[in-house]
């Protein structure tokens, strides 16, 4: 009897081994050796500047990814369940403005007072002050926009927005990381011709977007490369790209500009998560095996609150952290408004707020 049980166990282990080694997976992973994690000293020195964050709208819903302010000073944010919530001008009494039926992520108001939203499922949306929703773009040259993520609007009205991954949608986000190929792109929507064009392709999870105050360049976060790329819109480098800042100590999410001298960069994951994933990235076959495992036993993240202020040359000039992740973590956006910084998050149920340092 024991021998029979032993043979059954050996057979099951053999089947499990074959599954882990050979079962087809939806990714075609590429090897990448990341740079060494920068030391957490100097401009990245840990601190508790997010320890006293004020929480606005606590309990309104999970995942207030981004925030935007209308001409009346009212704050808007999009939640995981598809609702766009609006606060009073004093920051109280959040109410449902609209429901997109998708997942609203990045949002900015245009010159006509419409709320322009990058919705991960619906595409690029325009929401009128009355709450009417119009799809501006859900494809480019006949190819679907799979994962609309973030946006910014240029002075001429052009909407620059990212398709984070043209292969994997929001609910398959981890597959895009495990594949680690340049599936993302930067797109531009022209409101005058109602047309969408591709600006940049081959981006490693194209995420946050921010246009410089002088309109000379646009920044795009490449989350899986731990860097921010710059695309020149004007000047002698027009049409060229370079690196604005690289080897960040975490995963960059959204980026905004205060309109003057600072870009605010949100790091949705901090150094502890890089320490988990960095050793996996040079090994495609290992990542295939991990992809076959149940999600509950795969790599995890460590809650961490992190945001940086960058000058116009990509130098770190502000550093706000909550290394414990207890006060505000998984920061997805930082928006400066009337002397305050407003934080969005992937997992919190409130908007964070602190005074501009």
Rounded to whole angstroms, the Cα distance separating 133 from 151 reads 17
d(CA 180, CA 288): 12
DSSP state string for 223-254: GGGTEEEEEE-SSTTTT-EEEEE-S-SSEEEE
pLDDT of residue 128: 98
What Rg value do the Cα atoms of the chain yield, rounded? 21
Which pLDDT score, from 0 to 100, does residue 214 have? 97
How much is the pLDDT for 92? 87
The torsion of the CA quartet 19, 25, 28, 30, rounded to 10 degrees, works out to: -50
Hey, how many other C-beta atoms are within 10 angstroms of the C-beta on 112?
11
| CATH number for position 121 | 2.120.10.30
Give the contacts of 59 (CB within 8 A, at least 6 positions apart): 349, 350
> Which residues touch 51 (CB under 8 Å, ≥6 apart)?
322, 327
Has residue 16 been placed in a domain?
no
pLDDT in tens, 265-303: 999 999 999 999 999 999 999 999 999 988 756 667 789
Q: Output phi, psi for 83, to 5 deg.
A: -80, 145
- Structural domain includes residue 345: yes
- Residue 90 pLDDT: 85
State pLDDT tens for residues 158-177.
999 999 999 999 999 999 99
How many C-beta atoms lie closer than 10 Å to residue 109's C-beta? 17
Q: Would you say residue 32 lies in a domain?
A: no
Q: Write b or e for each residue in 132-157: b if 16 or more Cβ atoms lie within 10 A of its Cβ, otherwise e.
A: ebeebbbebeeeebbbbbbbbbeeee
pLDDT at site 9: 54
Query: Domain for residue 10, yes or no?
Result: no
Q: For the purposes of burial, counting CB atoms within 10 Å of the CB of 28, is it exposed (0-12), middle (13-18) or buried (19 or more)?
A: exposed
Q: What is the pLDDT of residue 86?
A: 97
Model confidence, pTM: 0.94
d(CA 126, CA 2): 68
Q: Give the H or E element holding residue 272.
A: helix 271-277
Q: How far apart are CA 30 and CA 284, in angstroms?
A: 6
Domain assignment present for residue 301? The answer is yes
Q: Please give the pLDDT value at position 315.
A: 98
pLDDT of residue 8: 55
User: Which domain, by its residues, includes 107?
Assistant: 43-355
On the 0-12 / 13-18 / 19+ scale of CB atoms within 10 A, 300 is exposed
Q: Are 229 and 210 in contact (CB under 8 A)?
A: no
**How many structural domains are present in the chain?**
1
With DSSP H G I counted as helix, E B as strand and the rest as coil, what are the percentages for the chain, rounded to 5? 15, 40, 45
| pLDDT value of position 11 | 55
Kindly state whether residue 95 falls inside one of the protein's structural domains.
yes
Parts of the chain with a pLDDT under 70 = 1-23, 296-299
CA gap 350, 62 in Å, rounded: 8
Residue 116's beta-bridge partner residues?
108, 126
Beta bridge partners of 344: 333
Considering the domain boundaries, does residue 14 fall inside one? Answer: no
Q: Is residue 124 part of a domain?
A: yes
The pLDDT of residue 112: 97
């Amino acid at each position: 009897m024991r021998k029979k049980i032993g043979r059954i166990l050996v057979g099951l282990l053999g089947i499990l081994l074959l599954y882990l080694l050979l079962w087809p997976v939806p990714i075609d992973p590429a090897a990448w050796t990341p740079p060494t994690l920068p030391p957490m000293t100097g401009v990245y020195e840990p601190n508790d500047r997010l320890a006293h964050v004020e929480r606005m709208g606590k309990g309104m819903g999970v995942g207030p990814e981004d925030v935007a302010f209308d001409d009346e000073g009212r704050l808007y944010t999009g939640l995981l369940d598809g609702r766009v919530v609006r606060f009073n001008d004093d920051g109280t009494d959040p109410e449902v403005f609209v429901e997109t039926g998708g997942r609203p992520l990045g949002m900015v108001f245009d010159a006509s007072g419409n709320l322009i939203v990058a919705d991960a499922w619906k595409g690029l949306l325009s929401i009128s002050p009355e709450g009417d929703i119009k799809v501006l773009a859900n494809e480019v040259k006949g190819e679907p926009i799979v994962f609309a993520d973030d946006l910014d609007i240029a002075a001429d009205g052009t909407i620059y927005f990212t398709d984070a991954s043209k292969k994997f949608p929001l609910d398959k986000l981890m597959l895009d990381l495990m594949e680690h190929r340049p599936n993302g792109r930067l797109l531009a929507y022209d409101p005058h011709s109602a047309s969408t064009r591709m600006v940049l392709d081959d981006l490693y999870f194209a995420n946050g977007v921010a246009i410089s105050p002088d309109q000379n360049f646009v920044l795009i976060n490449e989350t899986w490369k731990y860097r921010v790329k710059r695309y020149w819109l004007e000047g002698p480098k027009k049409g060229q790209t370079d690196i604005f800042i690289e080897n960040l100590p975490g995963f960059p999410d959204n980026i905004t500009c205060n309109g003057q001298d600072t870009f605010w960069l949100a790091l949705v994951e901090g150094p502890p998560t890089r320490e988990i994933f960095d050793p996996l990235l040079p090994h495609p076959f290992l990542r295939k095996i991990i992809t076959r495992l149940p999600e509950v036993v795969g790599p995890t993240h460590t809650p961490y609150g992190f945001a940086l202020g960058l000058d116009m040359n990509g130098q770190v000039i502000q550093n706000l952290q909550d290394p414990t992740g207890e006060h505000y973590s998984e920061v997805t956006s930082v928006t400066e408004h009337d002397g305050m910084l407003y934080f969005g998050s992937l997992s919190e149920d409130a908007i964070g707020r602190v005074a501009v340092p």
